[in-house]
Chain A
Amino acid sequence: MQHPAFEEVTVHHHQTDDKSFKKKIIKTTVILSIITIVELGLGLLMYALDLPDDLRRLMLKGVIIILSLAKAYFIVSIFMHLGDEIRNMILTIVIPLLLFIWFILAFIIDGNSYKNLRNKYDKHFQERTMEKKDVKELLKKPGGKE
């Protein structure tokens, strides 16, 4: 269908072929659902195994993050049709988003460093927030909380 009101648009590349379109949408929906179920499975696995905060837990979380990024890719590329746009258009959206790499790393590292500094210099903070607690002390001492 030509859009008479938008002659600045050069190429109309939206397919109206019903069959292949429906197929593509169903396929994407199934992929998104499966990824979500796998994510939930991994999240519950983390809980069921009661993993300590070690490398294995971190790796599971990494897998879940990668799966979420895959989901985001499918939503943006297929549902939002960004994959059908021309290269210039794709790049003008995607390149600014690269800023997130710095954004995430900088602030996560900052938060982590703040924790380490506080644990080192503010023993009260560490005692108050660490998971292992002396039960008797908690029950006895009024003013145990800040």
Chain B
Amino acid sequence: MSTQATVHQTKWWSGGKSPFNLEYGKLMMWYFLMSDAFTFGAFLISYGSIRFSQNYWPNPNVVFDSAPGIHGGAPLFFVSIMTFILIVSSVTMVLAVHEGHKGNRQGVIKWLAWTIVGGLAFLSCQAWEWHHLITGEHAVLVNGQVELWGQNMSHNPWGPVVEGVTYHGHHVTTPGPVAFGGYFFGITGFHGFHVFSGVIINIIMLVMAQKGVFDRRGHYLMIEKAGLYWHFVDLVWVFVFLCFYLI
């Protein structure tokens, strides 16, 4: 392999070339993503720290058990759809980047468009999920009386179930740890904001590709950078999914 031989013979630090064999913009995108990984990491670790400091934490299979048209009894069903949407949109982004390598403008446009559709689908799902959590009504026993609570920043209806008490045929719980709402909405919201900005970036890339900006430049490296960002969003979801829904 001639490429392999060049890699080994090259004196990377002798100057006049990138020691990392990357152009500036892409290298800086990598470093940005690394710092962003620490931001998300700090959020998730803070969540873990609080969770470990509690005697009781809501079971995700109970909290996330609904989907549009399904009222309860389908644990993790909706969120697995969201996960697959994000994986598929990551794949279409890979294909867009690949078409960019070949300089195929129509291919880039096609796959970028599908990636944008995937991103918007994910955001729509998240909007439904938030709406469902906030507006849902759950019987919670407070001061000896039943109150109807949704999941928001100050109320958590997912406490331990009170055995032997029902309210219109539903379980009655005690209040759960309040921190749950703040962490859930904060972290999935921050991730959703990344998805949203990724969609915006992809739309800008789509318009630029459509106008032939990259053809005139002679390369589609911007698509690669946008692609790195988009894959990172998918990567973060792997861990958000892990921390909030699975364990």
Contacts and interface: CB of A to CB of B under 8 A. Distances in A.
Interface of chain A, main secondary structure: helix
Contacts of A42: 246
B18 A10 contact: yes
A68 B83 CA distance: 12
Contacts of A39: 242, 246
Contact of A13 (B3, B19, B59, B93): B3
A20 to B, nearest CB: 12
A97 B34 contact: yes
Interface in B141-161: 141-144, 160
B103 interface: yes
Given A1-B103, A44-B75, A36 B234 contact: no
Given A36-B84, A118-B53, A138 B22 contact: no
Nearest to B93: A79
Interface string B216-243: 0111010000011001101100110110
Given A8-B18, A10-B17, A10-B18, A140 B144 contact: yes
B144 A142 contact: yes
B98 interface: yes
Contacts of B3: 11, 13
B140 to A, nearest CB: 10
A112 B53 contact: yes
A138 B61 contact: no
A66 to B, nearest CB: 11
B238 A8 contact: no
B192 to A, nearest CB: 19
A129 B246 contact: no
Q: Which of A13, A79, A140 has the most CB of B within 10 A?
A: A79
B98 A129 contact: no
Interface residues of A, number: 72
A65 B21 contact: no
B217 A85 contact: no
Interface residues of B, number: 80
Interface in A1-37: 1, 3-11, 13-14, 16, 21, 25, 29, 32-33, 36
A138 B165 CA distance: 11
A72 B53 contact: no
B143 A145 contact: yes
Nearest to B234: A75
A33 to B, nearest CB: 7
B45 A107 contact: yes
A123 interface: no
Interface of A: 1, 3-11, 13-14, 16, 21, 25, 29, 32-33, 36, 39-40, 42-44, 46-47, 61, 64-65, 68, 71-72, 75-76, 79-80, 85-86, 88-89, 92-93, 96-97, 99-100, 103-104, 107-108, 110-112, 114-115, 118-119, 125-126, 129-131, 133, 135, 138-145
Interface of B: 3, 6-7, 10, 12, 16-24, 27, 30, 34, 37-38, 41-42, 45-46, 48-56, 59-61, 75-76, 80, 83-84, 87-88, 90-91, 93-95, 98, 101-103, 141-144, 160, 162-165, 174-175, 177, 217-219, 221, 227-228, 231-232, 234-235, 238-239, 241-242, 245-247
8 pairs of A and B residues whose beta carbons are closest in the complex? A111-B52, A111-B49, A47-B61, A89-B20, A129-B55, A6-B23, A111-B53, A107-B49
Given A76-B235, A145-B174, 14 more contacts: A6-B23, A8-B18, A29-B87, A36-B84, A40-B76, A68-B239, A93-B30, A103-B45, A115-B54, A125-B55, A131-B55, A135-B164, A138-B144, A142-B144
